[in-house]
Amino acid sequence: MNERVARLRGLLAEAGLDALLVSDPYNRRYLSEFTGSAGYLLITRDESVIATDFRYWEQAGQQCPDFRLHKAIGQAAEWFPPLVAPLGEKKLGFEQAHVTYQLHKVLRAAVDSLPAGQRPEMVPAEPLVERLRAVKEPAQVAAMERVIALGDAAFTYVAERAEPGWTEKQVAWEIERYIREHGGEGLSFPTIVAGGAWGALPHAYPRDYELREGEGVVIDMGALLDGYCSDMTRTIFLGRPDDQFRKIYDIVFVAQQAAAEAIESGMKGHDAHMVAQNVIEAAGYAENFQHGLGHGSGLQVHEAPRLGRNSSDVLQDGMVFSIEPGIYLPGWGGVRIEDLAVLESGRCRVLSKAPKLQFAGVGA
């Protein structure tokens, strides 16, 4: 039996649902291993069905041998009613975070076309599959370690070669080229490269700007390998770092290390965030760190849990998440340091190994 589906059925019972229609592609892959771009899963208390079109019939049969194939031929009005009619008037959950208003109208109309007694009650479901995905199995942690190692290698290769005169776009391209040439499927998100004052934008994009000696460069990057995503940020310096850069870098580094050492299983995302926030606030830069401390990563680069001011997510063993404090000063630039870590036996194990700068005896 598919253990992930079995765990989902337990959550369905808790939620008072008889079935769940899975439309989110990452949830679909997590439950079935299906990698096609189109399709739905129907998970009931005793059956697992994959509905997809002609392009993926053979693929679905190969990747999802435990699922019954329902051929989604034509419009939803044709294939959806026979898919859900066996449920009768039971409760069918749909993924409210993924189903658009337009899609809901189409599916609702298809259900309404069924005879009385065969119309399931469509109800919005909480993110049940996402709850399962937040806690990684050992094989998933191993997959994360492989993709993180690839990202680490790509960063190290480029950071050792980047020099004044390289453009931000050139840095970004060299990272992507390395990842693809060393077995990666591509990037987990568009690479951020921000030199000098541009680094004050947490989500800056690479430009044709030529990097200069005497300025910091924020590099936020991730690789994609076997469907899993890495995410890592380093801030480098071209030339000899000045006192201001050393000061800001050390504050961010200490904040990150404090969080990595303090985070434990059972802690809420809010409390984890505040460990780093308090370090930065004590140094006088509270207003310059406004994003969350971290987020989960796995099949998506951003997934549960969240580590932030308003997060009530409870951290558990098996969760993989980022720890990424930063300080951003308009007109000067920014520093962000980010690692992915996994909770094991109640404590954080940092997975990212890419080198960091060493200042004031605190860098590593």
Q: Are 295 and 257 in contact (CB under 8 A)?
A: no
* pTM, rounded to two decimals: 0.95
Cα–Cα distance between 312 and 214 in angstroms, integer? 41
Q: What angle do CA 335, 279, 312 make, to 5 degrees?
A: 95
Domain boundaries, the chain: 3-132, 135-350
What's the pLDDT at 105?
Answer: 95
Cα–Cα distance between 218 and 115 in angstroms, integer? 60
Residue 187 pairs with which residues in a beta bridge?
A: 223
Total number of residues shown for the chain: 364
Cα–Cα distance between 280 and 325 in angstroms, integer? 9
SS3 111: helix
Cα–Cα distance between 11 and 8 in angstroms, integer? 5
SS3 277: helix
| Residue partners of 139: CB distance under 8 A and separation at least 6 | none
The pair of three-digit structure tokens given for residue 247, joined into one six-digit string: 């000061």
The side-by-side arrangement of strands in the sheet containing 19-22 is 68-71, 48-52, 40-44, 19-22, 91-95, 121-125
Categorise residue 75: left if φ over 0, alpha if ψ from -120 to 50, beta otherwise.
Answer: beta
135-350, what's its fold?
Creatine Amidinohydrolase (3.90.230)
Residue 166 pairs with which residues in a beta bridge?
A: 164
Comparing CA positions, the residue from 200, 194, 191 lying closest to residue 334 is 200
- Helix (H) or strand (E) holding 2, with range, is none
Phi, psi of 20 (to 5 degrees): -135, 130
What's the CATH code, domain 3-132?
3.40.350.10
3-132 and 135-350 have identical folds:
no
SS3 46: coil
What's the pLDDT at 358?
Answer: 74
Output the 3-class SS for 175-213. HHHHHHHCCCCEECCCCEEEEHHHHHCCCCCCCCCECCC
SS3 233: strand
pLDDT tens over the chain, length 364 residues: 589 999 999 999 999 999 999 999 999 999 999 999 999 999 999 999 999 999 999 999 999 999 999 999 999 999 999 999 999 999 999 999 999 999 999 999 999 999 989 999 999 999 999 999 999 999 999 999 999 999 999 999 999 999 999 999 999 999 999 999 999 999 999 999 999 999 999 999 999 999 999 999 999 999 999 999 999 999 999 999 999 999 999 999 999 999 999 999 999 999 999 999 999 999 999 999 999 999 999 999 999 999 999 999 999 999 999 999 999 999 999 999 999 999 999 999 999 999 999 765 454 4
What's the pLDDT at 364?
Answer: 45
Comparing CA positions, the residue from 261, 254, 259 lying closest to residue 363 is 254
Separation of first and last alpha carbons in the chain? 45
Q: Are 73 and 80 in contact (CB under 8 A)?
A: no
